[in-house]
Amino acid sequence: MRAWGVEQGCLFCGERDEDRDHLFFACPYTYTLWLRVLGSLLQPVPSPDWNENLCLLTAPAPNRFTSILSKLAFQVTIYYIWKEMNGRRHNQVARPVEQLSKFIDKTIRQRVLSTRYYEKPHLLGLLQHWFSTRTGRA
């Protein structure tokens, strides 16, 4: 869009120069959203740096459920941030972090349920693990 002369300011926080690193997760709005989505899933608290988040997600996790859920949370969060940004760009109503985090949580729960995890012995407890992380961070 820069090539067309369209302003690239952040639609979430007003930062003048938006790029991938800012959008995912140096922007205060998206970083707050990312922390809300993660709950207590990843410890220590992830930084707002894109590359550090990728390293954290590709590093060995403490258990299989944390690995699966953190990667799913990342994918769903990226999708909703992009969707929210496009909505704001095209004059739709801006949603607060709390509302967006609820949509993301519901999407993750639906995705886990759609895998029929309860029929797969190696995935028993996946949804329970997700629920257990919901009370960790505000």
CA distance 99 to 47: 22
Question: What's the whole-number mean pLDDT along residues 16-40?
Answer: 94
Neighbours of 58 (CB within 10 A): 10
- Is this prediction's pTM over 0.85? yes
The 10s digit of each residue's pLDDT in 52-67 is 999 999 999 889 999 9
Neighbours of 135 (CB within 10 A): 9
What burial letters (b/e) apply to 97-126, b meaning 16+ CB within 10 Å?
Answer: beebbeebbebbeeebeeeebeeeeebeeb
At 96 the pLDDT is 96
Domain ranges, ordered by start, for the chain: 20-132
